Copies of this chain bind each other. A is one copy, B any other.
Amino acid sequence: MIQVAVIGFGYWGPNVVRNFCAQPGFRLVAICDQDMRALSRAQYLHPGVRATNDPAEILASPTIDVVAIVTPVWTHYPLAKAALENGKHVFVEKPFTSSSTNAVELIEIAERKRLIIMVDHTFLFTGAVKKIRELIEQKVLGDLYYYDSLRVNLGLFQHDVNVIWDLAPHDLSIMDYLLQEEPEAIVATGETHLNGHEDMAFITVYFPKNVIAHINVNWLSPVKIRTTLIGGEKRMLVWNDLDAEEKIKVYDKGVSVATQENLRQLLVSYRSGDMWAPQVQEAEALTTELTYFHECLSNNTTPFNDGRAGLRIVQMLEAAELSVKARGRSVYLQQEKRRPSLAEAKAFG
């Protein structure tokens, strides 16, 4: 039985707590929050679990194996660092850290101490993303052309970060997981209207071989939209996460271009066939994720959503922020090896 403590019982923490409780193989032993109202809510809902407002108690406890950190992003680094140095595995909310330097340091500590970091990019464990990954791996879409995502709604404005750090980690982590490619450069534009932080942003990510991604995040939209288009050589896909019944639609459509001899003109031909909405698994993503976390801990394997995955997203967020402040300057990303091998990634069913 793996002993877990959760730090942070605000918006997302209660879900993490509830899922660790329900997950066989884990035993939740402590909850920590500095806000006393949050703490008493935790006590009311989980009467058998120790509640404390002092993270040090948890970080120092010899009986805790895993610390889950579900706190504001700027606190991830000090909390995770202390946990790792005390020999604890770490489960940390996205984005991993507020700077890539911090992320690199945490990864090094974890590797040195042979500890596991899992960054909670929850969306990667939804039925929809798993199904899309499957369709891409099985070459149903063919070579990919683009990933174009729209994630807009009204609020909730954050006080400490802009819309890029708030909403884009979802899209960047999904894009990273689906494309499995190293981006070359990022161009971001956006604007600030109300509280000094960008409330809308448009991020372009350039990949090798003419693959391109685009992410539109906006806190000032009157309607909620969660739609992603993915274009491939053979087929194209629309993922509407707000459609309860038909989240993913695969279109048997394509374009071919041929050059006819003796003709300077290109011949473009369109192919159009059936549409198909594969059934998508409905399990709660966090449940699936914690099952996988338990497997990784038990088998001592590196999760595909490890610290390096978290670092890749943080690097892209930093690049996007730099670009948006410079009105769309191209920011090039370093091409070091940042991705787990396919074999490691495959470990996840």
Contacts and interface: CB of A to CB of B under 8 A. Distances in A.
Contact of A212 (B190, B253, B278): B190
Interface in A18-41: none
B222 A238 contact: yes
A268 B156 CA distance: 9
A4 B210 CA distance: 47
Nearest to A158: B268
Given A145-B220, A236-B222, A279 B268 contact: no
A266 B160 CA distance: 10
Contact of A148 (B148, B192, B216): B216
B253 A154 contact: yes
A189 B222 CA distance: 26
A277 interface: yes
A269 to B, nearest CB: 10
A127 interface: no
Nearest to A271: B154
Nearest to A189: B204
Interface in A139-190: 145-146, 148, 150, 152, 154-157, 159, 185, 187, 189-190
Interface stretch (A78-86, A295-303, A325-333): A325-333
Given A189-B204, A204-B189, A229-B152, A251 B222 contact: yes
Contacts of A152: 229
Contacts of A204: 189, 202, 328
Given A189-B212, A253-B222, A327-B206, A154 B270 contact: yes
Interface bracket on A: 35 or more
A212 B191 contact: yes
Chain copies in complex: 4
A79 B130 CA distance: 49
Interface in A296-334: 323, 327-330
Interface stretch (A60-68, A116-124, A193-201): A193-201
Contact of A194 (B193, B257, B279): B257
Contact of A200 (B146, B195, B236): B146
A231 interface: yes
A214 interface: yes
A221 interface: yes
Nearest to A245: B223
A27 B171 CA distance: 47
A276 B279 contact: no
23 contacts: A145-B191, A145-B193, A146-B200, A150-B150, A154-B253, A154-B270, A155-B268, A156-B268, A159-B265, A187-B187, A189-B214, A191-B211, A202-B202, A218-B229, A221-B231, A221-B236, A222-B236, A222-B237, A223-B251, A274-B277, A274-B279, A275-B277, A328-B330
Given A146-B220, A148-B200, A222-B235, 14 more contacts: A47-B47, A145-B191, A156-B268, A159-B266, A187-B189, A194-B255, A204-B328, A214-B216, A216-B216, A220-B255, A274-B277, A274-B278, A277-B277, A328-B329
